[in-house]
Amino acid sequence: MTLSGRFVLLLALGVVPIVLFGPDPKAATGILLLWLLLVFVLGGLDLALAASPRAVTVERMLPARVRLGESVTSELYLTNTGRRRLVGVVRDAWQPSAGAGRNRSRVVIPSGERRLVSLTLTPFRRGERRVEQVTVRSRGPLGLWNRQATLNAPGRIRVLPPFHARKHLPARITRLKELDGRTSVMVRGQGTEFDSLREYVRGDDVRSIDWRATARRNEVMVRTWRPERDRRVVILLDTGRTSAARVDNEPRLDTAFEASLLLAALTSVAGDRVDFLAFDRRVRGRVQGASGAALLSQLVDSMALIDPELIEMDWAAVPGQVRSITSQHALVVVLTSVDAAGASTGLLSVLPQLTKRHTVIVASVLDPATVLAAASRGGRDEIYRAAAAERALLDVARVSAAIRRLGADVVTASPAQLPPALADRYIALKAAGRL
């Protein structure tokens, strides 16, 4: 039961009769008591005549998924199974981050009928956004007292990573196709696979003439090449505590999601197999054996629920995890943060095990604020800041050098640049046949 502003106003209006007709205390007290009686009888009557909010049944219709930044409509069907007409307000109690805005809607539902309450959701956080309950406040005919009940109507909507980096995809696919020899420009790498033999035409590289085949046939034959296919790419995401840090107001983890989505999209176009693993001390997300359109949807689905864990990454378990995915040679892309030497000890200690068997790329976000700070030398405080920034950059350079010495490759870039940089590195490796 709740009151309305109208009831408060009615109660306060009792001042008028008390002042007008109550010059002496006894009469005034009598009028006060009479007024209170009147007001509460009216309120009680109102309450008794209000439709029961408990007689409302709720059905929900929700899209299962939405990309972060996009809007969807949540539909709530309210059916009044009671005998009275329900006039009131409905609150659909979404979590704040579901972006429901003002989630109170006025409804009028005659007995036995059904009404739709639709709400536009614009979630502003990744993950699973939930709603558990719907609260119905039913107004009495006089609008003095309300009946209120909370109904269980659970719902959930999965908010997927936005994948802004997909704008880089077409250009990279074009470059892949150039590698593939499907366009007129033949870009040939060293370690590409033998594809087929065909007759020599003018302009072909004489080095690719296959002399044995030429000896068997009467024409000069050349070998054609295509990039390797069906290689394995393992994307390993560090979801430990360092992934929670924000660079350019975006957590490192989200940048890593963008980069791995772009890489996965590219590799699936290139015909390679992608496996995805998010790991800190245990597996937070894993996508294996998917390809084509299913790959990306499975990836975003599993990424949606991953949040940075405030624990230290267990690097010692990483080689085992990779081995459990593939025992063949693969491109292992480790998305983590390359920081001070002390913090990267774990990564450096297990890298030899990985590089012995696989090609490894370590990708990390570089804070553009640090680069800016290193260059700005105003007063005393700014110089100290520049010194600290320079120190941090030197640390990154030292760790990067150590990683390279262990046989792995390093990609560092600002959050906006990391996904395309990683994709370019992949294309370069593919062209070089190092997959």
Query: Considering only residues 285-304, where is the footprint of other proteins by CB under 8 A?
Result: none
Between CA 128 and CA 138, with CA 132 as vertex, the angle to 5 degrees is 145
Question: At residue 319, what are phi and psi to the nearest 5 degrees?
Answer: -55, -40
By CB under 8 A, residue 342 contacts other proteins: no
Pick from 259, 60, 220: which is nearest to 155 by CA?
60
Binding mask 219-248 for other proteins (x = CB under 8 A): -------------------------xxxx-
Number of residues that bind other proteins (CB under 8 A): 107
CA separation for the pair 433, 435 (Å, rounded) = 6
Pair 298, 257: CB distance under 8 Å: no
Class of residue 81 by CB neighbours under 10 A (exposed 0-12, middle 13-18, buried 19+): middle
Question: Mind giving me the DSSP string for 282-339?
Answer: SEEEEE-S--THHHHHHHHHHHHT----SS---GGGHHHHHHHH-SS-EEEEEE----
Distance of CA 53 to the CA centre of its chain: 37
Q: How far is the CB of 195 from other proteins (least distance, A)?
A: 32
Binding mask 183-222 for other proteins (x = CB under 8 A): ----------------------------------------
Tell me which residues in 369-398 interact with other proteins (CB under 8 A).
Answer: 369-371, 373-374, 377, 379-381, 383-394, 397
The one among 270, 367, 402, 427 contacting other proteins by CB under 8 A: 367
By CB under 8 A, residue 115 contacts other proteins: no
Between CA 262 and CA 269, with CA 268 as vertex, the angle to 5 degrees is 90
By CB under 8 A, residue 357 contacts other proteins: no
CA separation for the pair 155, 202 (Å, rounded) = 66
Name the one range near other proteins by CB under 8 A: 146-154, 198-206, 208-216, 280-288: 146-154
Name the one range near other proteins by CB under 8 A: 94-102, 221-229, 261-269, 424-432: 94-102
Q: Which is nearer to other proteins, 96 or 320 (CB)?
A: 96
Class of residue 385 by CB neighbours under 10 A (exposed 0-12, middle 13-18, buried 19+): middle
Q: Which is nearer to other proteins, 22 or 181 (CB)?
A: 22
By CB under 8 A, residue 180 contacts other proteins: no
Q: Which is nearer to other proteins, 124 or 194 (CB)?
A: 124
The one among 46, 87, 91, 298 contacting other proteins by CB under 8 A: 91
- Residue 280's CB is within 10 A of a number of other CB atoms, namely 22
What ranges make up the beta strands (E) of 40-191? 56-61, 65-67, 72-80, 86-94, 104-109, 114-121, 127-139, 145-160
The one among 50, 55, 264, 278 contacting other proteins by CB under 8 A: 55
By CB under 8 A, residue 15 contacts other proteins: yes
Q: How far is the CB of 99 from other proteins (least distance, A)?
A: 12
The one among 94, 257, 279, 315 contacting other proteins by CB under 8 A: 94
Q: How far is the CB of 7 from other proteins (least distance, A)?
A: 6
Q: Which is nearer to other proteins, 60 or 198 (CB)?
A: 60
CA separation for the pair 171, 85 (Å, rounded) = 60
Joined together, the tokens standing for residue 83 give 């005998």
Q: Which is nearer to other proteins, 68 or 234 (CB)?
A: 68
Name the one range near other proteins by CB under 8 A: 222-230, 273-281, 407-415, 426-434: 407-415
Q: Which is nearer to other proteins, 26 or 207 (CB)?
A: 26
- What is the helix (H) or strand (E) element at residue 253, kind and residue range? helix 252-270
Q: Which is nearer to other proteins, 21 or 194 (CB)?
A: 21
By CB under 8 A, residue 257 contacts other proteins: no
Name the one range near other proteins by CB under 8 A: 17-25, 226-234, 278-286, 287-295: 17-25
